[in-house]
Amino acid sequence: MLFTTVLFLVITTSLSSAALIPTPNHGRSFQQCFYSHHSNNHTQVVIPRNSPLYSPLLNSSIRNNRFLNSSYHSLSKPEFIVNPTRESHIQATIICVKRSGFQVRTRSGGHDYEGLSYSSSTHQKFVLVDLSNFRSIEVDIENETAWVETGATLGELYYRIAEKSRVHGFPAGSCPTVGVGGHFSGGGFGTIFRKYGLAADRVMDARIVDANGEIMDRNSMGEDLFWAIRGGGGASFGVILAWKVELVPVPEIVTIFSVSRIVEQGGVQVFQKWQNVSHNLPKKLFLHAVIKPNNGTIQFVFVGLFLGRVKELLPLMEERFPELGLAAESSQEVSWIQSVMYFAGFAVNNISSKALLNRTSTFDGFFKAKSDYTSEPISGLGLEGLFKRVLEQESSMLILTPYGGRMGEIPDSETPFPHRRGYIYKIQYIVTWDTEEETSLHMRWIRELYEYMAPYVSKAPRAAYYNYRDLDLGRNGKNDDSYERARIWGLKYFNGNFDRLVRVKTAVDPSNFFWNEQSIPVLASH
């Protein structure tokens, strides 16, 4: 810590008079600045485009092939990738990037749906800070907390918790290769969120590097900034180094189950009942629905987690949702970590939980996703049109996540994530494809589906989930109208919390150093 502080003072002193404008040679200026303070092994830390290390590292956590080809939407690649191994590397990067006139982008897991953590649709040159080396996890079972570095994945976090305890868990997402840096800072849904809220709701402290290269914790950053990074997108405010989170109790034995129905088996009627009951079920019961085409018909898959045993689950379902027809043979009692593996797509009985430590994604293709929220069941007429459109696209899928429970108890302004009470479920629309030539066709399909759904979902604003980033909702400008531009998409993600996020951003990053196409804007000075 002393070394970090001294280094920060040296760098800031040497750069205090530097104008924050592009220099004639951006790259040399940035490298010289960084190397002057980190002379040892810098070739493994600052990686230019002409390095043989560049492409393997850049592509290592690109999770969507739409962004592997830089010709897509004229995307720009980073001029340099910084692969830090210590916090002082990140501090030096921020300060030297400012001196050199670059922008900066940060990547923890690479799951940004629009690739903004590692690519840019502008011509502004940027440096990518890849945080995959920051993956330490310290679990403290006695105090029921954990410190998690920003480059750790959800799978790694779950595994480390389960190493220490069979009766502790954490309410975050189901994809094990997602990095905690972006996931927590955007909200973070999971299978136990109806019981415990979002991942962001369980953040107790954080460490962040701000636009001046200073490292701050909750106490030194203040409650406004701490509020903003728990659901407002950390990349708008700084570089998240680590999160301190509160673990939650889980039973030693939980129950997982799945029931599938097609239209010809009464699937539509079961789904209509799901719309009415899923958000009213007990908090410890999570039951989401998946809608997808299957051999010319619509398949409905209802997948659940119950924080209890089968003998308690079956009579509950018979009372509250008999139409589902849940039977003992469709259910399985497992440990919580096995339930994590189940929702991640692993065969629970045949694979070790160490599979959660694999950071390589099993998906290798192109995709586009969008999101919606609904406050009331979609009508039969609306469903008829929806199913017709889903049948047009064999590689499409809708994931519907029920609300209620704890989500209805947390005030909308508690964190920047506003979509709490009043909603019955969230919709994620997904379409996948295999080749770049198919991109236009599939992008058009999902945009037309989204337009069709407008009458059946939330309005004024039409709500969207920030972690399912969607540039179709709008993009920032780089001039005085950026606030008005950002407000178009900002209200959809953050509703009434957007203006507070703007005020925090203006206070902590008035020069808008941490900018991207959907970062929180600053208020223009008058």
Say how far apart CA 209 and CA 214 lie, in whole Å: 5
DSSP lists the bridge partners of residue 215 as: 209
Q: Residue 3 above 80 pLDDT?
A: no
Give all strands (DSSP E) within 380-502, no chain letters.
Answer: 396-402, 425-433
pLDDT at 402: 99
Give tens-digit pLDDT for 471-490.
Answer: 999 999 766 568 999 999 99
Q: Which of 55-59, 156-160, 382-386 has the lowest mean pLDDT?
A: 55-59
Say how far apart CA 151 and CA 184 lie, in whole Å: 12
Q: Residue 70 above 70 pLDDT?
A: no
> Would you tell me which CATH number, out of the four given (3.75.10.10, 3.40.50.300, 3.40.50.1820, 3.40.462.20), belongs to the domain 254-334+363-456?
3.40.462.20
Contacts of residue 83, defined as CB under 8 A and 6 or more positions apart, other chains included, come to: 44, 45, 47, 57, 130, 132, 133
What is the pTM for the complete model shown?
Answer: 0.93
Structure token pair of residue 287: 């039951």
Give tens-digit pLDDT for 149-177.
Answer: 999 999 999 999 999 999 999 999 999 99
Q: Are 522 and 510 in contact (CB under 8 A)?
A: yes
Say how far apart CA 384 and CA 389 lie, in whole Å: 9
Question: What is the maximal distance between C-alpha atoms in the chain?
Answer: 73
Q: Give the CATH number of domain 137-249.
A: 3.30.465.10
| Domain residue ranges in the chain | 2-130, 137-249, 254-334+363-456
Q: Are 252 and 160 in contact (CB under 8 A)?
A: no
DSSP for 103-151?
Answer: EEEEESS---TT-TTT-BSSS--EEEEE-TT---EEEETTTTEEEEETT
Looking at residues 182-204, what average pLDDT do you find? 98
Give tens-digit pLDDT for 403-434.
Answer: 999 999 999 999 999 999 999 999 999 999 99
| Mean pLDDT (the chain, rounded) | 92
Looking at residues 195-212, what average pLDDT do you find? 99
pLDDT at 16: 34
pLDDT at 25: 62
Q: Residue 301 above 60 pLDDT?
A: yes
Q: What are the backbone angles phi and psi of residue 368, rounded to the nearest 5°? A: -140, 140
Structure token pair of residue 407: 């989500």
pLDDT at 18: 33
H helix and E strand count, the chain: 16, 18
Return the higher-pLDDT residue of 138 and 8: 138
Q: Residue 128 above 80 pLDDT?
A: yes
Return the higher-pLDDT residue of 19 and 413: 413
pLDDT at 87: 97
DSSP lists the bridge partners of residue 294 as: 297
Q: What DSSP element (H or E) covers 245?
A: strand 239-246
- Secondary structure in 3-state letters for 193-223: HHHHCCCHHHEEEEEEECCCCCEECHHHHCH
Looking at residues 379-390, what average pLDDT do you find? 98
- CA-based nearest residue to 129, from 150, 147, 145: 150
Say how far apart CA 263 and CA 268 lie, in whole Å: 6
Give tens-digit pLDDT for 24-45.
Answer: 466 678 998 998 876 666 668 9
Give tens-digit pLDDT for 214-224.
Answer: 999 999 999 99
∠ CA 466-471-475, rounded to 5° = 100
**Confidence band, pLDDT 50/70/90 cuts, at residue 22:** very low
Residue recorded with tokens 């379409």: 431
Say how far apart CA 236 and CA 465 lie, in whole Å: 16
**Confidence band, pLDDT 50/70/90 cuts, at residue 71:** low
Determine what percent of the chain is predicted with pLDDT higher than 70: 92
- 284-308: b (≥16 Cβ within 10 Å) or e: bbbbbbbbbbeeeebbbbbbbbbbb
CATH topology (fold) of 2-130: 3.30.43
Residue recorded with tokens 């389960």: 162
pLDDT at 124: 83
Active site residues: 468
Within this chain, domains 2-130 and 254-334+363-456 share the same CATH topology = no
Q: Residue 13 above 60 pLDDT?
A: no
Q: Which of 71-85, 175-189, 247-261, 353-367 has the lowest mean pLDDT?
A: 71-85
Say how far apart CA 394 and CA 248 lie, in whole Å: 39
Q: Residue 311 above 90 pLDDT?
A: yes
pLDDT at 524: 83
pLDDT at 284: 98
Other CB atoms within 10 A of residue 70 CB: 11
